[in-house]
Every structure is written in structure tokens, then in C-alpha cells.
Copies of this chain bind each other. A is one copy, B any other.
């Protein structure tokens, strides 16, 4: 029997529509509220930030939303992405489990992020937008939007969390090679940034602050819009190509997942792999255990209350109901920078409330143990974020061994770690530590949650 089992989907079977889980939810999402009035926002409230097509996707309850042909054309460069059976890892673990992984590191930017960067750039171009402004943590998202901007002729400006800006010059260089401008955040270019710097000139930055800066720049100019790499419904929607492809590929394998595992920061790669399967279950299909794996140092799903909160630190965004650690919470500097966000996608948070998913939190050293084991068995070196999913999948496979059950485990390998080698150097050098967040800071951030009455 072969050790490499790859399921390649023909290009003609690449999804023609994104799958919208909002169509199948048993109860709808709580409304998004205006930060001032606490009344539900309408499309016009969001128009300064996003083109109308994306706003309509944000609130749509249509089950299928057509993927425009120019977007599919770019997807085609690396999609359909391969699905693998991890047979060498199974042997190593001596597990009766069948482990499958969808590999999104084949995109030019090395992660799943172009799945949404491309349609966002496309819809903005169609709307006549000349410039997109965004934030990035570790840089996966910023480099993906830079890539998409280059293809659609849109200027891209990225506020990069300062600590990452300093630590990851290579991600920055990738953005600049694609022609984007990359600025350390907090910066002196915005009121939000200057405010933070006035209080603390050496502030290391956070995603919440970088979002504030990007939103401020975008809101101030007609030809400029904002783009977000996770959290929002339309972003999660675009990622569903991952799970839709996996569904077809597992059909080729004559299999169906008993368990789906994804890592969660803002929630988009997790949603991408899981939503099509959760939707099938909600429409009467097979039940699947869906597990979100988050960093123990930023545990929004396992520790944060389900509450209305801001998406950013300066409180420029609308209020959304989500699992949150509070918009002023600054997580410690662990290596999975893409998972360092105080909140969780409203859709993912809602699913947790409905009992349709579960969540676990892991510290980073155990995740790197899992990632190195995976790299040596399967040959692909995962990003630190993806190591959380690997850890979750390996734990399930070991459970199968202990229980003597053969379950099918599907996980999302959302990106390669070629830009994250410092983390591996630290790991092998014994310098990687399990970081704890400050309990006092969390309590303060949670105490600062906006007081919002029952939604209308």
C-alpha cells in the first residue's frame, strides 16, 4: 500500500459558489450593533469601510453565493488544494484512525488567506476602489492581500503589529515585493496610533490597535476601503472553498469525517474546513464532532464570555456578539501570531453556543512537539498556527488507539511555516516557553466590555 495518498480534485470540480452557513443556522446570528446607538447597523453604516457586494455577503442568508469568474480564475492558480491521507503519521502513532489533512500552504502566499484576499480585492476593484488598508499580525494576511492587490491593480497598505514588524522582516519583505506598503503599528500616521504612542512610545502593538489604524485611514478617504482577514461573515464565507473541496475529496476516498479539527484565532480557516460539514449535518446529514483548537495564551473560546464587544482597541468598529477576552486585552507574544486576537468570529462563537462545536486550548510547546513530529513523518513543515490543529488531530488519533476505534479525522493544515523558522529555532534551542496571559489584565479587559442591553 502506498504511503502517499493524495486526492486531487479536477479543476472542473472546483466550487462555483461559496457555502453560506447562515442559510442553515437553527437560530440566526445576533445583530451587529452601532457602537454609539447600540441599534442594529444597516448596510449604509458599513459603506465607508467595505464595498456593497461584501456588505451584502455579510448579511446574506442565501445558501450559495456565486464565486465570480475572475476570482475563480485566480483561485485556479493553486486550487483545488490537495487533500492527503497522513498514512506515515498514522503508522508512527500506531493508530487505527484515518487521518486526512487539507493542505492550504500551496497558495503563493503560503496559507489559506488568499482565499478571501482575492475576492476582497476583486469586489473592491469592481467598486472603483483604488486602495485597501488592512492590519496584519504574523503577516500571513498582509502578504495575501498584497498578493491579491498586485493581481487586481489595487494599492495595499498594511499596518503590521510592531512586535511582528520587528521580528519578521521577511514577511514584510514579501509584502513589499508584491508592491504593498507596510507600516509598524502603532504608527504616527493615525490619531489612534498617535494616542497609543503618547501613552507608551515603545508599545509593541496588537491586532486590535492595528485594526483601529487601518479602519481610521480607510474611513477617511472615498477611494480607500478597509479589508479584514478573518472574523467577519463574508471572510469566513470565502474560506468555505476549503471544506467544499474536502467534502468532494473525501467522497473520492469513500470516507466521511467523524472528527474535524481546525485552529482558531479569528476563526476563518476553521470555518473554511468545518462549515460545509456542519451545514450538511444541519440539513439532516451525518453528525460530525468539530473541535476548535486555540492557544492557551489567548483562549477566547474556552475562557472568554459570549458578549458584545468591539473588534478593535480604539472602538471604531461596530459591536458584535462573540467570545471575547475584551478589546483591550493584549495576549503574550507567542509564536502563532495569527491566533493572537482578543475576539472570535461571531459565526464560530454562535456555533459554540449552539453546541455544534467544542473548543480546547493548548500551550505552544506541545503544539510544536506535534508539528515537528508531523514534519518528520509527512515532510511538510507547518506554520505555528497550524501546529495547533496538528496537535488536536494527533490527540484524537491517540484517543482512537487507546479506545481501539477507527475514526476518520480531518484537519486543516492552513499554512506552511517557511516564514516562521525563528519559532522552530527557539523550539530546538529550548527557548520556546508556554506563556501565560496576565489574569489581572484579562479581568480588567473583561470589566471594560461595553454594557449592551438585550438586542432588539
Contacting pair A8 B6 (CB below 8 A)? no
Known: A2-B73, A2-B76. 18 other contacts (CB 8 A): A4-B76, A4-B77, A6-B77, A8-B8, A8-B11, A108-B379, A108-B380, A108-B381, A110-B418, A169-B425, A170-B418, A170-B425, A173-B428, A177-B424, A177-B428, A178-B376, A178-B381, A179-B376
- Which residue of the partner chain, among B73, B84, B424, contacts A3 with CB atoms under 8 Å? B73
B residues in contact with A110, CB < 8 Å? 418
Q: Kindly list the 6 A-B residue pairs having the minimum CB-CB distance in the complex, ordered from nearest.
A: A170-B421, A418-B418, A173-B421, A108-B379, A4-B76, A150-B376
B residues in contact with A428, CB < 8 Å? 173, 176-177
B residues in contact with A108, CB < 8 Å? 379-381
Q: List 13 A-B contacts (CB under 8 A).
A: A2-B73, A2-B76, A3-B73, A4-B74, A108-B381, A150-B376, A173-B425, A174-B381, A174-B424, A176-B424, A176-B428, A177-B375, A418-B418
Closest to A381 in B: B177
Chain A residues 150 to 207 lying within 8 A of chain B, measured CB to CB, are 150-151, 169-170, 173-174, 176-179
Distance of A36 Cα from B376 Cα, bound (Å): 42
Distance of A41 Cα from B340 Cα, bound (Å): 61
Q: Pick the most buried of A4, A174, A176: most chain B CB atoms within 10 A of its CB.
A: A4
A38 at interface by CB-CB < 8 Å? no
B residues in contact with A424, CB < 8 Å? 173-174, 176-177
Closest to A179 in B: B376
Chain A residues 1 to 43 lying within 8 A of chain B, measured CB to CB, are 2-4, 6, 8, 10-11
B residues in contact with A381, CB < 8 Å? 108, 174, 177-178
Closest to A150 in B: B376
Partner-B contacts on A (CB < 8 A): 2-4, 6, 8, 10-11, 73-74, 76-77, 84, 88, 106, 108, 110, 147, 150-151, 169-170, 173-174, 176-179, 372, 375-377, 379-381, 418-419, 421-422, 424-425, 428
B residues in contact with A10, CB < 8 Å? 8
The smallest C-beta distance from A391 to any residue of chain B, in angstroms, reads 16
B residues in contact with A178, CB < 8 Å? 375-376, 381
Given A173-B428, A174-B381, A176-B428, do A4 and B73 touch, yes or no (CB 8 Å)?
Answer: yes
Closest to A70 in B: B3
B residues in contact with A170, CB < 8 Å? 170, 418, 421-422, 425
Distance of A127 Cα from B381 Cα, bound (Å): 28
B residues in contact with A151, CB < 8 Å? 88, 379
Given A177-B381, A179-B376, A418-B110, do A76 and B6 touch, yes or no (CB 8 Å)?
Answer: yes
Contacting pair A77 B169 (CB below 8 A)? no
Distance of A73 Cα from B425 Cα, bound (Å): 30
B residues in contact with A76, CB < 8 Å? 2, 4, 6
Distance of A412 Cα from B448 Cα, bound (Å): 56
The smallest C-beta distance from A252 to any residue of chain B, in angstroms, reads 12
- Which residue of the partner chain, among B4, B84, B106, B421, contacts A169 with CB atoms under 8 Å? B421
Distance of A178 Cα from B150 Cα, bound (Å): 34
